[in-house]
Amino acid sequence: MPNEKDSRTAPKNSPKIAGDELRVIGVSRRRVDARAKVTGQTRFADDIFLPRMAYCKLLRSPHPHARIRTIDTTRAAAHAGVYLVLTGKDVPIQYGILPVSQDEQALCVDRVRHVGDPVAAVIAREELTAFEALDLIDVDYEILTTISDPGEALNTPEPRIHEYGEEGNIHKFVALEFGNVEEGFAEADEIFEDTFFFQGNTHLPIEQHAAVAIKDPDGKLTIWSCTQTPHYLHRALAKVLEIPAAHIRVIATPNGGGFGGKSDPFHHEIVVAKAALLLDRPVKICLTREEVFYCHRGRHPVLMKFKTGVKKDGAITGMHLQTLIDGGAYGSYGVASTFYAGALQTTTYHIPRYRYQGCRTFTNKPPCGPKRGHGTPQPRFGQEVQLDKIAEKLKIDPADLRLRIVESSNAVTANFFRLGTVNLAECIRRIVKVSGWKEKFRKLPLGRGIGLACSAYLTGAGLPIYWNKMPHSGVQLKFDRSGGVTIFCGATEIGQGSDDVLAAIVAEVLGIDTFDIRLFTGDTDLGPVDLGSYSSRVTLMAGNAALQAAERGKTIIAEAIAEKLEVPKERLRFAGKRVFDSAAPDKGFSFQEAVCLAEARFGTIGTVGSYTPPKSPALYKGGGVGPSPTYSYSAAVVEVEVNRVTGWVTVPRIWIAHDIGRALNPALARGQVEGSVYMGLGEALMEEQEFRRLPKKLSHALVHKFPSILEYKSPTSLDMPEVITELIEEPDPHGPFGAKEVGQGPLLPIMPAVANAVYDAVGVRIDEIPVTPEKIMKALAEKKAGRNPRFGPDHFPPVNWPEALRVPPPWEGGDGNAVNDIPRRAKTDAKKEKVLTP
Amino acid sequence: MTTLPIESQKTSQIRFALNGEETDVSFAPYKTLLEILREDLGHTGTKHGCELGECGACAVLLDGKPVLSCLVLALECAGKQILTVEGLSEDGKLHPLQEAFADLGAAQCGYCTPAILVTAKALLDHNPHPTRDQIRESISGNLCRCTGYLQIFEAVEAAILKIADKKSSPA
């Protein structure tokens, strides 16, 4: 059997009692959905073909900012083969992923806000006909001033891209202060001020977004879509279509890559649902690659200013972070992203006083949102590069500096995040050892260098996107007389292996094989709600729900078997597809017999499990973004070779250690680490979502510089370095079998480690991502001219920051509330807090 | 009578061998090999990520050589041998490449997998013992956003051993 392979990574526990060893968890196994994937039978959304199916195409705005005067669809509607043409007035209700930014419309009604904003839809017998008919729609636009970047947004309050937000084109301010940062700077021996820029980039899943909707025979709606968040899509559809949520079924098809890019409810999903209901026939849409670039929701471009005070020994006395964030044309997850950009700084190193000011602006570009690491890679880049500079100035090895200041397990940070297990120090020690850091750092020949960086990430957002007290994840199990077990769960398979996590946990508890389990996941009708595949939450949250459901099933079966065997049920073990007496292992039943005996004793057997994260001590407004049941930690060392004539960077090797708690399936865990390293390397060296203005004689419109895979450079198999992965396993009590996240965290240290390595190689600081040859050449020229050997921003524009909420940190007697937010204090006391959005 | 929409005008017809099976198919003449496979022949194992020849997700073997099916006109395929992922397994058994990809984590989301599998097969058919650099080179036109490629290389290398084992000890 495939799951007996690779015993290298089997857990090294020595059980005293038969049946107590782990047989599934911790073993590298074939994932449950692997066969479907290698035979091409995984049914992605665009693989669905239904009888009488019609095809949908969207007409998108060619202008970055314009008022729609009129739309005339007469000619398109009359085109042979066209069934239906929809415009904004057919689906006018606003929606959005966050309750605080319901600012999208499925088809723009009176305003377009970026090139690619959809204004009309054609549904036709054939895709090509629908495409042709787009040309027959006449839209009269009144061009408005384009806001192209946050600087322009700050200086151009009118026209407003949206009528809501803080003021002008500022979408969101965050201002939080934990302790008196100025006092912290006064205590410091050295103050460091650095400005960094992180360019935006996009997810580039190889699967283009697709969806198919049908009106069920009973008049209800079913939609298949490659969404990471079927539950949130469910809610958005109910709102916009104004039909009861109970009459809508969302089936998340396996995503052909998500990385955060399929986490919002999208125009095309709402449009095909509306069209299917109107036409009473299946309607499909598959976006072109160009359209995928317009959907975006990718990494926000962020300008950052870090001011950090340190003692001579490296201890941080205070940190002040400012961010200016380019949000694009809509809210998306942006309010959460703005908080996240300042949230996790405190989770890696002890920062006794911390001030964060964040500002997200609207611009006339495709909306930014959550990409792997959501909001945290940009400030992590700045923080880790600045630490490298601090270490150099203080003449402390960068690894040693970090080891001196790492946070400890179960600490509560200045901003009131309660940490779980923190094995960052072990990650650093391991990576220093395996990379030969001490022999290489500042010792390699000119042109070769090595850089180190660390990071932390959530294992699931502590709060749901809309405020409620219900579980974040639920699992139902059906125990069949066949001996098979069926898992029903809303968790969504986006390639990360969520189905395998559920199967592994249930199989381990019940002593059966993962291939004896059937899964129905990502289906809002069949399974209980799981909030979705985002914030690295599935392993811990859906995993804990599965664990609870399986344990409950085990209890029921054990009770029946204990009676039958006349042994205490504590003595029973479930292993090897058997239920047996651990004192006399021959005495027992097959799992199938055990299920039948239990059913005979108690009736039909089904169990449920659910998971709700622990309550966070961060009670202040905005404290809902950043808490997590536990955090993962990573440390990476990157080796580079920099060509001093061309600026070209080659990366031969990367060492990475990841504090994972426990690897449920080490082969898959390593795949997540390597995939994160790969994606981080793409961000570090080449990936950028860039825009340009067309020449004045054309429209002067702000357009995507290269909405194609050919021009949007991402690493190929030829660019991928050797990666040495070290999984640090100390089971965390919050995770199922001790597991923490692995899908996002390992991406985070790569970008700063690359920049730090480039400095080690050629002595220039590239304080901007991506680190391109052009930037290196410019910095080398500065160096040659005797100027500051650096490339990066040197200016943070003036921002009219609001007064910060002042939250005394735990060591100053703080209770998690802001001292200057009186109305909220009252609300909190009355237990009515509405903590915002993870 | 009004004219049929263009896609419904299945005025072209070819015969070719699809996964070893002689196949007749009628289709609108502008269609690509990718389109007739997925839309007219129900072979949805072959994927697409750009339909512009940029991502490699639509690779199939045409007379044993990997081609991007989104750039091949279906009309050019008359009389040719086409192999897709659906034709990889034999007698209900997975191809050693499929086994290795499944066991070693080489397929995460699985979207680029069919194309990489057939591309790797073409490599091994012509060069049963490629080096890692040759493996890298052979799939450099197939983008994968999930794996970071390393487990794909390892799976191809594992398959090489499996195939060699099979050849040295015929059952």
Give this complex's ipTM: 0.97
Residue A684 and residue A649 in contact, taking contact as beta carbons nearer than 8 Å: no
The structural domains of chain A, ordered by start, are: 49-144+206-257+262-295 (3.90.1170.50), 302-463+620-791 (3.30.365.10), 470-611 (3.30.365.10)
A256 touches chain B (CB under 8 A): yes
* Position B3 pLDDT exceeds 90: no
Residue A4 confidence class, pLDDT cut points 50, 70, 90: very low
Average pLDDT over residues B105-118: 98
% chain B with pLDDT above 70: 98
* Position A835 pLDDT exceeds 60: no
Q: How close B49 comes to chain A (CA, Å)?
A: 5
Residue A538 and residue A496 in contact, taking contact as beta carbons nearer than 8 Å: yes
The pTM of the full predicted model, rounded to 2 decimals, is: 0.96
Alpha-helical segments (H) within A242-365: 267-279, 289-295, 334-340
Residue A194 and residue A767 in contact, taking contact as beta carbons nearer than 8 Å: yes
- Reading the block at residue A403, the tokens are 């080891």
Report chain A's mean pLDDT, rounded to a whole number. Answer: 95
Residues of chain B neighbouring A208 (CB-CB closer than 8 A):
48-50
A709 touches chain B (CB under 8 A): yes
Q: How close B40 comes to chain A (CA, Å)?
A: 11
Average pLDDT over residues A22-34: 97
CA distances from A516 to A219, A483, A484, A486, A595 (A): 35, 8, 5, 9, 13
The structural domains of chain B, ordered by start, are: 6-87 (3.10.20.30), 96-168 (1.10.150.120)
Residue A206 confidence class, pLDDT cut points 50, 70, 90: very high
CA-CA distance, A31 to A312, in Å (whole number)? 50
- The three state secondary structure string of A338-401 is HHHCCCHHHHCECCCCEEEEEEEECCCCCCCCCCCCCCCHHHHHHHHHHHHHHHHHHCCCHHHH
Cβ pair B143:A714 closer than 8 A: yes
% chain B with pLDDT above 90: 91
What is the structure's pLDDT at A281?
97
Residue A699 confidence class, pLDDT cut points 50, 70, 90: confident
Helices A398-405 and A377-394 cross at an angle (nearest 10°) of 110
CA-CA distance, A773 to A28, in Å (whole number)? 39
Residues of chain B neighbouring A127 (CB-CB closer than 8 A):
7
Task: Please provide the distance, in angstroms rounded to a whole number, between the alpha carbons at the two ends of chain B.
Answer: 63
What is the structure's pLDDT at A275?
98
CB-nearest to B113 from A2, A38, A667 is: A38
What is the structure's pLDDT at A19?
76
Closest CA to A398 of A437, A449, A347, A436: A437
Going by C-beta distance under 8 Å and a sequence separation of 6 or more, which residues neighbour residue A730? A421, A423, A426, A659, A661, A738
The 10s digit of each residue's pLDDT in A366-409 is 999 999 999 999 999 999 999 999 999 999 999 999 999 999 99
Closest CA to A688 of A114, A299, A150, A199: A199
Residue A621 and residue A824 in contact, taking contact as beta carbons nearer than 8 Å: yes
What is the structure's pLDDT at A701?
83
What is the structure's pLDDT at A694?
87
- Which residue carries 């322009």 as its tokens? A152
Is residue A824 within a helix (H) or strand (E), and if so which, with residue range?
Answer: helix A822-829
% chain A with pLDDT above 90: 94
Q: What is the secondary structure of A720-776 as a DSSP string?
A: PPEEEEEEE----TTSGGG----SSGGGTTHHHHHHHHHHHHHS-EE-EES--HHHH
| DSSP conformational letter for A539 | I
* Position A6 pLDDT exceeds 90: no
Q: Which residue has the higher pLDDT, A598 or A825?
A: A598
Is residue A828 within a helix (H) or strand (E), and if so which, with residue range?
Answer: helix A822-829
* Position A831 pLDDT exceeds 70: no
What is the structure's pLDDT at B2?
64
* Position A253 pLDDT exceeds 60: yes
CA-CA distance, A229 to A252, in Å (whole number)? 8
Give residue A452's Cα distance to chain centre. 23
Residue A824 confidence class, pLDDT cut points 50, 70, 90: low
CA-CA distance, A182 to A188, in Å (whole number)? 10
Q: What share of chain A is helix, strand, coil (3-state, %, to 5)?
A: 30, 25, 45
* Position A160 pLDDT exceeds 60: yes
Q: Which residue has the higher pLDDT, A687 or A4?
A: A687
Going by C-beta distance under 8 Å and a sequence separation of 6 or more, which residues neighbour residue A389? A192, A194, A765
What is the structure's pLDDT at A7?
38
* Position A637 pLDDT exceeds 50: yes
CA-CA distance, A316 to A178, in Å (whole number)? 14
What is the structure's pLDDT at A827?
54
Residue A159, preceding peptide bond in cis (omega within 30° of 0): yes
Cβ pair A49:B42 closer than 8 A: yes
What is the structure's pLDDT at A821?
86
Alpha-helical segments (H) within A79-220: 127-134, 150-155, 181-187
Residue A528 and residue A490 in contact, taking contact as beta carbons nearer than 8 Å: yes
Beta carbon pairs, A and B, within 8 Å: 198
The 10s digit of each residue's pLDDT in A440-475 is 999 999 999 999 999 999 999 999 999 999 999 999
Closest CA to B145 of A201, A532, A754, A656: A201
Q: Which residue has the higher pLDDT, A632 or A832?
A: A632
- The three state secondary structure string of A413-436 is CCCCCECCCCCHHHHHHHHHHHHC
The 10s digit of each residue's pLDDT in B9-65 is 899 999 999 999 999 999 999 999 999 999 999 999 999 999 999 999 999 999 999
Q: Is residue B21 helix, strand or coil?
A: strand
Q: Which residue has the higher pLDDT, A745 or B166?
A: A745
- Reading the block at residue A371, the tokens are 């990409």
The 10s digit of each residue's pLDDT in A350-367 is 999 999 999 999 999 999
Residue A770, preceding peptide bond in cis (omega within 30° of 0): yes
Cβ pair A47:B44 closer than 8 A: yes
Residue A100 and residue A116 in contact, taking contact as beta carbons nearer than 8 Å: no
Phi first, then psi: what are they for A27, rounded to 5°? -110, 135
- Mutate which of B10, B109, B140 to disrupt the A interface (most A C-beta within 10 Å)? B109
Cβ pair A128:B107 closer than 8 A: no
Average pLDDT over residues A697-726: 93
Closest CA to A524 of A236, A794, A282: A236
Residue of A nearest to B112 (CA): A206
Alpha-helical segments (H) within chain B: 33-35, 96-103, 113-126, 132-138, 150-168
CA-CA distance, A261 to A770, in Å (whole number)? 20
